[in-house]
Protein backbone atom coordinates (compact mmCIF):
# COMPACT_ATOMS: atom_id res chain seq x y z
CA UNK A 1 0.00 0.00 0.00
CA UNK A 2 1.22 3.45 -0.83
CA UNK A 3 0.79 6.45 1.38
CA UNK A 4 -1.31 9.27 -0.01
CA UNK A 5 -1.43 12.85 1.18
CA UNK A 6 -4.33 11.86 3.43
CA UNK A 7 -2.24 9.15 5.10
CA UNK A 8 0.72 11.47 5.52
CA UNK A 9 -1.53 14.05 7.23
CA UNK A 10 -3.04 11.34 9.44
CA UNK A 11 0.46 10.31 10.56
CA UNK A 12 1.38 13.94 11.19
CA UNK A 13 -1.79 14.51 13.23
CA UNK A 14 -1.31 11.30 15.23
CA UNK A 15 1.90 12.84 16.64
CA UNK A 16 3.50 9.48 17.46
CA UNK A 17 0.47 7.97 19.23
CA UNK A 18 0.24 4.19 19.21
CA UNK A 19 -2.41 2.37 17.19
CA UNK A 20 -3.99 1.29 20.47
CA UNK A 21 -4.15 4.93 21.71
CA UNK A 22 -5.70 6.01 18.39
CA UNK A 23 -8.13 3.10 18.61
CA UNK A 24 -9.20 4.20 22.10
CA UNK A 25 -9.56 7.76 20.86
CA UNK A 26 -11.68 6.80 17.85
CA UNK A 27 -13.49 3.70 19.20
CA UNK A 28 -11.97 1.60 16.41
CA UNK A 29 -10.01 -1.62 16.76
CA UNK A 30 -6.25 -0.99 16.92
CA UNK A 31 -5.70 -3.41 14.00
CA UNK A 32 -8.16 -1.41 11.87
CA UNK A 33 -6.34 1.79 12.87
CA UNK A 34 -3.01 0.22 11.88
CA UNK A 35 -4.32 -0.71 8.41
CA UNK A 36 -5.71 2.79 7.86
CA UNK A 37 -2.53 4.48 9.07
CA UNK A 38 -0.36 2.27 6.82
CA UNK A 39 -2.15 3.08 3.59
CA UNK A 40 -5.58 1.40 3.40
CA UNK A 41 -8.35 3.83 2.47
CA UNK A 42 -10.09 4.77 5.75
CA UNK A 43 -13.84 4.68 6.16
CA UNK A 44 -15.78 7.92 6.43
CA UNK A 45 -16.71 6.97 10.01
CA UNK A 46 -13.04 6.59 10.94
CA UNK A 47 -12.07 9.93 9.36
CA UNK A 48 -14.90 11.65 11.29
CA UNK A 49 -13.90 9.96 14.58
CA UNK A 50 -10.21 10.71 13.94
CA UNK A 51 -10.92 14.40 13.37
CA UNK A 52 -13.25 14.58 16.37
CA UNK A 53 -10.83 12.79 18.69
CA UNK A 54 -7.83 14.90 17.71
CA UNK A 55 -9.65 18.21 17.17
CA UNK A 56 -8.69 18.32 13.49
CA UNK A 57 -10.08 20.43 10.69
CA UNK A 58 -11.67 17.90 8.29
CA UNK A 59 -10.82 20.06 5.27
CA UNK A 60 -7.14 20.02 6.24
CA UNK A 61 -7.10 16.25 6.74
CA UNK A 62 -8.82 15.49 3.44
CA UNK A 63 -7.28 18.15 1.19
CA UNK A 64 -4.39 19.75 3.04
CA UNK A 65 -6.05 23.19 2.84
CA UNK A 66 -6.61 25.47 5.80
CA UNK A 67 -5.35 25.16 9.35
CA UNK A 68 -4.71 21.73 10.86
CA UNK A 69 -6.71 22.31 14.07
CA UNK A 70 -10.46 22.81 14.10
CA UNK A 71 -10.22 25.63 16.67
CA UNK A 72 -8.02 27.65 14.28
CA UNK A 73 -10.54 27.65 11.40
CA UNK A 74 -12.46 30.75 12.55
CA UNK A 75 -9.31 32.83 13.03
CA UNK A 76 -8.08 31.78 9.59
CA UNK A 77 -11.42 32.65 7.98
CA UNK A 78 -11.38 36.09 9.62
CA UNK A 79 -7.86 36.73 8.34
CA UNK A 80 -8.82 35.79 4.79
CA UNK A 81 -12.14 37.64 4.59
CA UNK A 82 -12.52 41.24 3.50
CA UNK A 83 -14.37 43.92 5.52
CA UNK A 84 -17.42 43.99 3.25
CA UNK A 85 -17.90 40.21 3.70
CA UNK A 86 -17.65 40.63 7.47
CA UNK A 87 -20.16 43.49 7.50
CA UNK A 88 -22.52 41.49 5.33
CA UNK A 89 -22.27 38.53 7.70
CA UNK A 90 -22.92 40.76 10.72
CA UNK A 91 -25.92 42.38 9.00
CA UNK A 92 -27.34 38.97 8.16
CA UNK A 93 -26.90 37.84 11.74
CA UNK A 94 -28.63 40.96 13.05
CA UNK A 95 -31.57 40.42 10.69
CA UNK A 96 -31.92 36.85 11.92
CA UNK A 97 -31.82 37.96 15.56
CA UNK A 98 -34.40 40.65 14.83
CA UNK A 99 -36.73 38.11 13.18
CA UNK A 100 -36.40 35.75 16.13
CA UNK A 101 -37.07 38.56 18.59
CA UNK A 102 -40.26 39.49 16.73
CA UNK A 103 -41.44 35.86 16.88
CA UNK A 104 -40.71 35.73 20.61
CA UNK A 105 -42.63 38.97 21.17
CA UNK A 106 -45.66 37.62 19.27
CA UNK A 107 -45.51 34.41 21.29
CA UNK A 108 -45.35 36.31 24.60
CA UNK A 109 -48.28 38.49 23.55
CA UNK A 110 -50.37 35.42 22.73
CA UNK A 111 -49.47 33.90 26.11
CA UNK A 112 -50.46 37.11 27.88
CA UNK A 113 -53.80 37.12 26.07
CA UNK A 114 -54.44 33.50 27.07
CA UNK A 115 -53.56 34.21 30.70
CA UNK A 116 -55.82 37.29 30.78
CA UNK A 117 -58.70 35.29 29.28
CA UNK A 118 -58.18 32.50 31.81
CA UNK A 119 -58.11 34.99 34.70
CA UNK A 120 -61.30 36.65 33.45
CA UNK A 121 -63.01 33.28 33.21
CA UNK A 122 -61.95 32.40 36.76
CA UNK A 123 -63.11 35.78 38.09
CA UNK A 124 -66.47 35.41 36.32
CA UNK A 125 -66.87 31.93 37.75
CA UNK A 126 -66.18 33.30 41.23
CA UNK A 127 -68.71 36.13 40.77
CA UNK A 128 -71.33 33.65 39.54
CA UNK A 129 -70.87 31.57 42.67
CA UNK A 130 -71.31 34.61 44.91
CA UNK A 131 -74.50 35.67 43.04
CA UNK A 132 -76.46 32.45 43.65
CA UNK A 133 -79.40 33.34 45.97
CA UNK A 134 -79.40 30.01 47.81
CA UNK A 135 -75.63 30.05 48.39
CA UNK A 136 -75.14 27.20 45.95
CA UNK A 137 -73.25 27.61 42.72
CA UNK A 138 -74.17 25.93 39.47
CA UNK A 139 -71.55 23.20 40.01
CA UNK A 140 -72.91 22.41 43.49
CA UNK A 141 -70.23 24.06 45.63
CA UNK A 142 -71.26 26.20 48.54
CA UNK A 143 -70.54 29.77 47.42
CA UNK A 144 -70.29 30.90 51.04
CA UNK A 145 -67.13 28.78 51.44
CA UNK A 146 -65.40 30.39 48.45
CA UNK A 147 -64.04 33.07 50.79
CA UNK A 148 -61.29 31.48 52.94
CA UNK A 149 -62.78 33.03 56.13
CA UNK A 150 -66.19 31.49 55.41
CA UNK A 151 -64.51 28.17 54.55
CA UNK A 152 -62.71 28.20 57.94
CA UNK A 153 -66.00 28.92 59.75
CA UNK A 154 -67.70 26.10 57.84
CA UNK A 155 -64.95 23.59 58.63
CA UNK A 156 -64.84 24.64 62.30
CA UNK A 157 -68.61 24.24 62.59
CA UNK A 158 -68.46 20.72 61.15
CA UNK A 159 -65.91 19.52 63.72
CA UNK A 160 -67.41 18.36 67.00
CA UNK A 161 -66.30 20.85 69.64
CA UNK A 162 -65.02 23.21 66.95
CA UNK A 163 -65.45 26.92 67.34
CA UNK A 164 -65.86 29.89 65.06
CA UNK A 165 -62.39 31.33 64.39
CA UNK A 166 -63.83 34.89 64.38
CA UNK A 167 -65.68 34.45 67.69
CA UNK A 168 -63.19 35.88 70.19
Residue 122, pLDDT > 60, answer yes
| HEC profile of the chain | CCCCHHHHHHHHHHCCCCHHHHHHHHCCCHHHHHHHHCCCCCCHHHHHHHHHHHCECHHHHHHCCCCCEHHHHHHHHHHHCCHHHHHHHHHHHHHHHHHHHHHHHHHHHHHHHHHHHHHHHHHHHHHHHHHCCCCECCCCCEHHHCCHHHHHHHHHHHCCCCCCCCCC
- Model confidence pLDDT, tens digit, residues 52-110: 999 999 999 999 999 999 999 888 877 778 888 878 888 999 999 999 999 999 999 99
What is residue 128's predicted lDDT score, i.e. its pLDDT?
74
Query: Does residue 147 carry a pLDDT above 70?
Result: no
Q: Where are the domains of the chain?
A: 5-70, 81-135
C-alpha 80/C-alpha 72 separation (Å) is 13
Asked whether residue 161 carries a pLDDT value surpassing 90, the answer given is: no
pLDDT of residue 25 exceeding 70, the answer is yes
Q: Would the pLDDT of 153 be above 70?
A: no
Position 124 scores a pLDDT of: 85
- Residue 148 pLDDT more than 90? no
Residue 134: band (very low, low, confident or very high) from pLDDT cuts 50, 70, 90: low
Measured distance CA(97)–CA(92) in Å, rounded: 9
**What whole-number distance in Å separates Cα of residue 145 and Cα of residue 85?**
70
pLDDT reading at 168 higher than 50: no
Write down the CATH superfamily of domain 5-70.
lambda repressor-like DNA-binding domains (1.10.260.40)
Question: Whole-model pTM?
Answer: 0.48
Amino acid sequence: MTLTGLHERMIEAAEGRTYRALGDLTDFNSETVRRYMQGQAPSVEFVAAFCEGLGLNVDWLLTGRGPMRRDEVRAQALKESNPSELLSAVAGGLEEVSDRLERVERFVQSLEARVRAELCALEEKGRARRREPNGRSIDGHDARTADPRNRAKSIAGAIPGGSDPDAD
